[in-house]
Amino acid sequence: MHLHGVITALVTPFTEDNAIDTKGLIEAIESQIEAGVSGLVVLGTTGEAPTLTTEERQHIIRTSVKTVAGRIPVIVGTGSNCTRTCVAMSLEAQELGADALLIAMPYYNKPTQEGLVAHIQMVYEATKIPIVLYNIPGRTSVNLEVDTALQLLALDRIVAIKEVSGNYTQVSQLVELSEALNYTVLSGDDAATLPMMALGCHGVISVASNLIPTGMVFLAEALAEQQLHEARVWHYLLADLFEALSLETNPIPIKAALNLIEHPAGHCRLPLTEMTESNQQYLAEIIEDLDTNIAELFEDIETTEANV
């Protein structure tokens, strides 16, 4: 499995009575595939996995796998700070048809590097499908150090690492050895897509692509083809949106954005709350400006192509 391009970390849409919006989930999946994304992550941070029951998790996996029907990989988040729970959820995802697992480093416990290795190896030995490591010390309070990551990435079914450390020296070291060890490095931060792919990362697990999948695909494709000018155009076009989507804890802003354009989302479950009114107003202005700017960009492209 070679993970690359834009992989959307899907929100979990809820109905007004706080149940899973199955119809909305199917619509979102179809729109993502139509836009050309390379994969989907369900039950991640953006999908509010910690607030879902076992039955809801199973329903989302089944629905996603059935809807995608093999067109792109379905990657299921199964991270936990309890190794036995992580193994159990990983086996469940595997049995329900997941193509790969996304495993965040254990949070709160603050394990040593040896503990991280033992945790991932336990899951690896129990399962048979590819695994993506997820390093996000801002949420877990522990960094997966380069030497530790390489020890795990040398295993044949650990195929990628989602890097959100913000440490570009660490990213560079991981990228440098990725070809030799046959894994890919993915950004987990939309705003870092350009610098990280410029360093040699292979794509992004994106939150923003819930809202603008086509724009994120254009950005990633331009970077993959080393078209730096085009990539910069898209980066700066989307920069204000990236900033607005980080005003409050993910996925509060992306759900607010989807609700503003009447796409399936619903509200976040507690303990996450609704976006503040002032931030929602700012987000609405960003989206309105973005629509105008993208329309003007495509108009300019069409005019240029017509004159060539």
Active site residue 108: no
Which ranges constitute the DSSP H helices of the chain?
22-35, 54-68, 83-95, 113-126, 137-140, 146-153, 168-176, 178-181, 193-198, 213-224, 228-244, 252-260, 277-307
* Active-site option among 108, 128, 162, 255: 162
* Contact (Cβ atoms closer than 8 angstroms) between residue 11 and residue 255: yes
SS (H, E, C) 75-89: EEECCCCCHHHHHHH
What is the C-alpha separation between 187 and 251, in angstroms, rounded?
Answer: 17
7 CB-side CA count, 13 A:
29
What is the C-alpha separation between 31 and 27, in angstroms, rounded?
Answer: 6
What is the C-alpha separation between 148 and 157, in angstroms, rounded?
Answer: 16
Active site residue 162: yes
Nearest CA among 31, 82, 102, 68 for reference residue 261? 31
* Active-site option among 134, 168, 183, 282: 134
Catalytic residues: 134, 162
